[in-house]
Amino acid sequence: MDEELKIKVCRMYYLSDIKKSEIANSLGISRFRVSRLIDQAWQEGIVQIKILEPISTSADLEEQLEKRFNLYHAIVVQPSDQSNQTIIRAIGRAAADRLLDLLKDGDVLGITWGETVNEVVKAFPSKINVKLDVVQITGGLNQMALDINAIDLVRRVAERCDAESHVLYAPPLSETKMRARRSWRM
């Protein structure tokens, strides 16, 4: 009961923008209990606030890069905070936005691994309404961090597209040279 009340109070407060005193009157509880429930929800992670800063780009620099390197499209992000994580997140969001503009039914989307690719996947909406095949394009067994693992990234994108995923069960690098050999069986 307390969980349901906590969620109801948070919905009223955050989503319906109802004052704490009005919530208290409406539910027949004290204003202090409303405040406590909101604080508990925050501490328990039931309430989360996500701030999406607009992505600042540099159109002049993008145009110069496109001309100089004969690029179809360049994106230059300028995050307000210059920390490594903020830069990677801004690149991921910009790349996700661009990919969503480009993808169409029947496309094959190749996924590799890494922090930036993980940020691209995190920036995708929960449902992508494009019929794709999602393919892992580099090996990646034995990767330590699960959220940047190529197999996991392919699976997460495929789930969002309701698509089939194709994974590559192979290491990204091999220490020895592999020789192709034929074997004939009857």
- Give the whole-angstrom CA distance, residue 162 versus residue 36: 40
pLDDT confidence band for 9 (50 / 70 / 90): very high
For 59-166, CATH gives: 3.40.50.1360
Indicate the CATH number of 2-43 among 1.10.20.140, 1.10.10.60, 3.20.20.140, 1.10.287.1770.
1.10.10.60
User: For position 109, what pLDDT does the model report?
Assistant: 92
Q: Are 108 and 132 in contact (CB under 8 A)?
A: yes
Structural domain boundaries in the chain? 2-43, 59-166
User: For position 186, what pLDDT does the model report?
Assistant: 39
Q: Are 146 and 113 in contact (CB under 8 A)?
A: no
Q: Which of 89, 93, 115, 111 is nearest to 159 (CA)?
A: 111
pTM here is: 0.61
Tens of pLDDT along 21-54? 999 999 999 999 999 999 999 988 888 877 666 6
Tens of pLDDT along 106-158? 999 998 888 899 999 999 988 888 888 999 888 765 555 555 788 888 899 99
Q: Are 2-43 and 59-166 equal in CATH topology?
A: no
Task: Output phi, psi for 110, to 5 deg.
Answer: -90, 135
Q: Taking each helix axis from N to C terminus, what angle separates 115-123 and 84-102, rounded to the nearest 10 degrees? A: 50
Tens of pLDDT along 45-60? 888 877 666 666 788 8
User: For position 152, what pLDDT does the model report?
Assistant: 86
